[in-house]
Amino acid sequence: MREVTLRFARRPQKRKMEELENVRILIVDDDPVLCQLLKTVLRVEGMEVEAANSGEAGIQVMYRMKPDLVLLDIMMPEVDGWETTQRIRQVANVPIIIISALSRTEDIVRSLESGADDFINKPFEMEELLARIRAVRRRAISFGGPPEYAHDYDDGYLAFNIPARQVYLSGEEIYLSATEYKLFEYLFRHAGRVCPNADLLEHVWGSLMPNGTRYLHVYIWKLRSKIEPETGRPVYFQTEHGTGYRFERQQQVKA
């Protein structure tokens, strides 16, 4: 376990505490001890706080939580903080503060060029962190208002975020199995074009299975039953008889 080097400071003034009250903070750091310490302290200051221990998990929590600000470590396995920052920036303008033991100028520059708004070195004083959170929040609000989270697709009825693997109908998240989502995503990425049955089988299942077309029909039916406003009159998942299927974007859909 890495040594926790967080240093605590005096409790801030009441006016400064009120500035951060109910602010939603997402911590993304693979050190669970540090995450717990930060959660405890920030919640005492009146903030709503959640934590994730990897970049991938952080992206998932971000879409569910829609934080006002992200505190993000760099050195994490698989998906590091720089890549996580870039992925967040593809879909949201939420402020990001990098918190890292890295201190080289090139690391700081890379963090800011990846899309971070500020950088703070570990170890740090809580008073400094709180001051930076307040400053970044003020700048974000003055320039652009609250954070916005873009959907990859949203027609008023169906919406989804590809990085988060989340699908919504009329604002309510629905569950798709891994196979259903893979089929859905492939059809969406080729929206407006016919995807031959063979291509769908190869991409989703990795092989041309015996009776594979029948298997594909079953999963198209599953998607229609979960997503279409009327299963018997599909508007999204169109059949090209004898060829394959295509996904059709809609301007506005009423359930």
Mean pLDDT of residues grouped by 10 in the chain (255 residues)?
A: 51 62 94 94 94 89 88 93 90 92 93 94 92 90 74 84 82 89 91 91 77 87 95 93 92 63
Domain boundaries, the chain: 14-144, 153-247
**Burial category of 62 from C-beta neighbours within 10 Å (exposed 0-12, middle 13-18, buried 19 and up):** buried
In the CATH hierarchy, which fold is given to the domain comprising 14-144? Rossmann fold (3.40.50)
Please give the pLDDT value at position 248: 93
User: According to CATH, what is the number of the domain 153-247?
Assistant: 1.10.10.10
Please give the pLDDT value at position 166: 83
Going from the C-alpha of 195 to that of each of 6, 95, 234, the distances in angstroms are 53, 39, 16
Please give the pLDDT value at position 252: 67
Neighbouring residues of 244: CB distance < 8 A, sequence distance ≥ 6: 194, 195, 196, 197, 199, 200
* d(C-alpha 62, C-alpha 65), whole Å: 5
Local structure of 119: helix, strand or coil: strand
CB of 118 closer than 8 Å to CB of 132: yes
* d(C-alpha 173, C-alpha 118), whole Å: 33
Please give the pLDDT value at position 177: 92
Please give the pLDDT value at position 56: 86
CB of 159 closer than 8 Å to CB of 153: yes
Which CB contacts under 8 angstroms, 24+ apart, belong to 217-222?
219/179, 219/180, 219/183, 220/183, 220/245, 222/180
Within a 10 A sphere around the Cβ of 70, how many other Cβ atoms? 27
Please give the pLDDT value at position 1: 43
Local structure of 183: helix, strand or coil: helix
